[in-house]
Amino acid sequence: MSRNKQQQAYQNTAVNTASSSELTLMLYNGCIKFIKQAIKDIEANDFEAKNTNIQKAQNIIRELMITLNPQVAISEQIMTLYEYMLHRLREANMHNDNKVLEEVLDFTVEFRDTWKQVILETRKKQYAKGVHV
C-alpha cells in the first residue's frame, strides 16, 4: 500500500471513529491549516490556490455554524463570530490580504484551544466518575 493510501486510510479511520467533540476539533484544525496555506499562497502569488484554501476554510466555518446548538445560550454569540469570520475571509480573498487572514486565524486558534480545554475538562469529569468513553 502506498504512503498516500496508508495516510488516507488512517484519516478515514480517525474521522469514522471520532466523537462529535473530536470531529469539531478536527474541523478547527483543518480550518487553521487552510488559512495558513492561504497566507503562504498569497506570499507566493498563487492566487488560485489561495482562493481554493480560503473556500475550504469558509466551508469548515459553515459546517461549524450548522453544528451549533441553538438551545445553548452562548451559541448566538458564537454564530455572530462565525459570521464575522466568514465576512473577513471573503474580504481577504477579494483583496489578497494576509493581515485579515491572520485575524481570522487568531479567532480560529482561540476557538480550537478553548474547545480542546472543554474536551479535557469533560474527560477529567468523566474519568473521575468512572465513565470511560
What residue spans define the domains of the chain?
A: 20-127
From CA 19, how far away is CA 40, in angstroms rounded? 32
- End-to-end CA, the chain: 32
From CA 82, how far away is CA 58, in angstroms rounded? 10
Architecture of domain 20-127: Up-down Bundle (1.20)
Residues 6+ apart with CB under 8 A from 119: 21, 22, 25
Q: Please write the tens of the pLDDT for every residue from 41-78.
A: 999 999 999 999 999 999 999 999 999 999 999 999 99
Q: Please write the tens of the pLDDT for every residue from 68-95.
A: 999 999 999 999 999 999 999 999 999 9
Instruction: State yes or no: pLDDT of 111 exceeds 90.
Output: yes
Phi-psi region of 72 (alpha: psi -120 to 50; beta: other; left: phi over 0): beta
